Amino acid sequence: MAMATVVRVYQSAPRQAGARLVVSAGGELEGSVSGGCIEGDIAFEAAGVLTSGQPRLIETGISDAQAWDAGLTCGGAIEVWVERLDRHVAAWFCNVSERPRECTSITVLDAAPGLPIGTRAVVWRDVVEVAPGGPSLLPVTVSDAARALIELGHRATAVIQEVVLADGASVRIFLEPWPGAPELVVFGAVHVTQVLVEMAHAVGFDTVVVDPRTTFATDDRIGHARRVVRRWPQDAIADGDVTLDGSSYVVVLTHDPKLDEPALAASLRSPAPYVGCLGSRKTQALRRERLRRDGFSDADLTRIRGPIGLDIGSRTPEEMALGIMAEVVAVARGGPLGAPRT
């Protein structure tokens, strides 16, 4: 099969870098690189790559008028890398795709001595694996560029980068982040939680719900969470049932200080990038004062997002969940809506 990957986007093309279209030898298509308007052209190019075995970097685009005729909202230009995946390379690609994430995929777009065009590799923090047919070792500058992307976590975006090799030659490489799935940690098995967990799954988050109240934390109500921990927050965290790290997004919804404040205290001691808590501004102020007396600084307390979620005028549990999940995604992606409310 041939695989076409968007590696660069100009203006406002419909798909972003990393979007893929796979074309089989029999002409079957799976995926998309443009939303439909240039798939035919790319499939034609892919047929040529299947025959020759030589990868190609194709720049293509559509005008605003063509986009409108194709049912799209705007035009744009994209660069698409088209490569043939032989059976053993395809098997390798599938295998590494299923391994633990927090890694970066590399595709070499230029040829250099000892580094053939089309070389594929995946770089983890401490492991480098090159696809069959590639060099035995990857240049250090290439693997270092990949590791730098890992450190950005979910804020990293796919990008073409030029790197200089030891002999002074420069090559372009396409770096695609494969971050691990972020985890939404919800303290409180309330009505909002039921909807929130479903939304989190839909946008790629793992979920864990923590609540010692077995009346609330039932499988019927919260069973679609990946994990339900029926313990007090401080006990679940102290014993390692729940781990809060740099990929944890914490939502505290119990509205009960006995549960909220131990959860918040543990979250503020962790590197969790998002800590949100349900409650009015008055409730938030009283809560912060109690946490301040427990030794947390003003800098610590500014990490708490409360009132929680984007202000979309929520009235129903479903709308509240939407506002919360939107804010979590904005923080994870580094978007402007991720700034705390003032």
> Looking at residue 157, what is its pLDDT?
87
Beta strands in 211-257 (DSSP E): 227-229, 248-252
Does residue 323 surpass a pLDDT of 90? yes
Does residue 278 surpass a pLDDT of 80? yes
- The residue with greater pLDDT, 64 or 2, is 2
> Looking at residue 255, what is its pLDDT?
85
Does residue 322 surpass a pLDDT of 50? yes
- Among 61-65, 157-161, 229-233, 252-256, name the one with the lowest average pLDDT: 61-65
Strands 56-62 and 29-31, sheet pairing: unpaired
Does residue 277 surpass a pLDDT of 90? yes
Q: How far apart are CA 5 and CA 32, in angstroms?
A: 9
Please report the DSSP string for 321-333 in residue order. Answer: HHHHHHHHHHHHH
Contact 251, 196 (CB under 8 A): yes
- Among 147-156, 211-220, 247-256, 293-302, name the one with the lowest average pLDDT: 147-156
Please state the domain extents for the chain: 2-85, 97-178, 183-338
Whose tokens are 């230029």? That residue is: 110
> Looking at residue 71, what is its pLDDT?
47
In angstroms, the Cα distances linking 161 to 2, 117, 157, 174, 198 are 23, 15, 12, 6, 37
Q: What percent of the chain has pLDDT over 90?
A: 57
- The residue with greater pLDDT, 113 or 65, is 113
Question: At 49, is the secondary structure helix, strand, or coil?
Answer: helix
- Across the range 107-132, mean pLDDT stands at 93
Q: How far apart are CA 318 and CA 340, in angstroms?
A: 21
What is the pLDDT of the chain when averaged over all its residues? 88
Q: How far apart are CA 304 and CA 310, in angstroms?
A: 14
> Looking at residue 75, what is its pLDDT?
57
3-state secondary structure 57-99: EEEEEECHHHHHHCCCCCCEEEEEEEEECCHHHHHHHHHHHCC
Q: Would you say the C-alpha torsion 30, 36, 40, 45 has a positive or negative sign?
A: negative
> Looking at residue 80, what is its pLDDT?
92
- Across the range 166-185, mean pLDDT stands at 91
Does residue 118 surpass a pLDDT of 90? yes
The domain made up of 183-338 has a fold known as Rossmann fold (3.40.50)
At 74, the pLDDT band (50, 70, 90 cuts) reads low
DSSP code at position 267: H
- The residue with greater pLDDT, 10 or 230, is 230
> Looking at residue 316, what is its pLDDT?
94
Whose tokens are 């089989």? That residue is: 24
Does residue 69 surpass a pLDDT of 80? no
Q: How far apart are CA 127 and CA 123, in angstroms?
A: 6
- The residue with greater pLDDT, 8 or 33, is 8
At 76, the pLDDT band (50, 70, 90 cuts) reads low
Residue 44 CB contacts under 8 Å (≥ 6 apart), including other chains: none
